[in-house]
Amino acid sequence: MTRWSTRLLLSCAAIGVGGGLVGIPSFYLFTTLATAAPFLMGLAAGFYLLPGTIALAAFRRPGVGFLSTMLAAVAAAPFVPGSFTTLYGWLYVAVLLEVPFALLGYRWWRAPVFYVAPLVGTAFYTWTWWTYYDIGGYQVWAQVALPTLLLGTMLLFTWLARVVAARLAQTGAMRGLRLPEDRRRTAAAAPGDRAGTTSAEAAPALPAP
């Protein structure tokens, strides 16, 4: 199998579409908050991380977070206010999710790396929305609510995505696609762990023979 087999591509599509559809109610909430109470937007922001983080945690391969996020955007677009224009919003998330792993050379996939994106994301969105909505002119509690809610929900959804990915692995649906968690000493093209078993999850990767 090449690194981007048709199966991997379509599996990203599956996670993207699944995540995109389950999140549709949240996107409506997001749009409502974005117009009526922007400092509460954080409440509905976490869903945007879901498909990409699930894909990264599930396959542990470069690019899957980006692709799944963008496919979630494409799939959900016809059903949300703003249609295909929502793609811009997702694009930031798609890049944001990949960066921490890219900086580590896509070799190390343990929990801490997953929590970098929510932290950076909180900082980034607090800054953008602050300037966009002039949150500085709002009451103090609203100013505090913006970053707090953002951070809270983003962390929550990152955690949730990892739980879902782990449970998915138990179902055996990712046989042959999931790579080991720690690949610092092995070649990037390590074989898929077998049937996504939990043992392979815990065991440190063996050096390539």
* Footprint on this chain of another protein (rule: CB under 8 A): 1, 4-7, 9-18, 21-22, 34-39, 54, 67, 70-71, 74-75, 77-78, 81-85, 131-134, 137-140, 142, 160, 163-164, 167-168, 170-176, 192, 194-195
Distances in Å between the Cα of 198 and the Cα atoms of 56, 167, 176, 181 are 17, 10, 14, 11
Q: How far is the CB of 195 from another protein (least distance, A)?
A: 4
- Residue 44 CB-density burial (10 A; 0-12 exposed, 13-18 middle, 19+ buried): buried
Identity of the residue, 178 or 183, whose beta carbon is nearer to another protein in the bound complex = 178
- Residue 205's SS3 state is coil
Q: Quick one: tokens of 198?
A: 């939990």
- Tokens 């009526």 correspond to what residue? 36
Identity of the residue, 116 or 176, whose beta carbon is nearer to another protein in the bound complex = 176
Identity of the residue, 38 or 42, whose beta carbon is nearer to another protein in the bound complex = 38
Q: How far is the CB of 148 from another protein (least distance, A)?
A: 15
Give the H/E segment covering residue 106: none
Identity of the residue, 188 or 198, whose beta carbon is nearer to another protein in the bound complex = 198
Q: How far is the CB of 192 from another protein (least distance, A)?
A: 7
- In whole angstroms, what is the distance from residue 30 CA to residue 7 CA? 32
Q: How far is the CB of 82 from another protein (least distance, A)?
A: 6
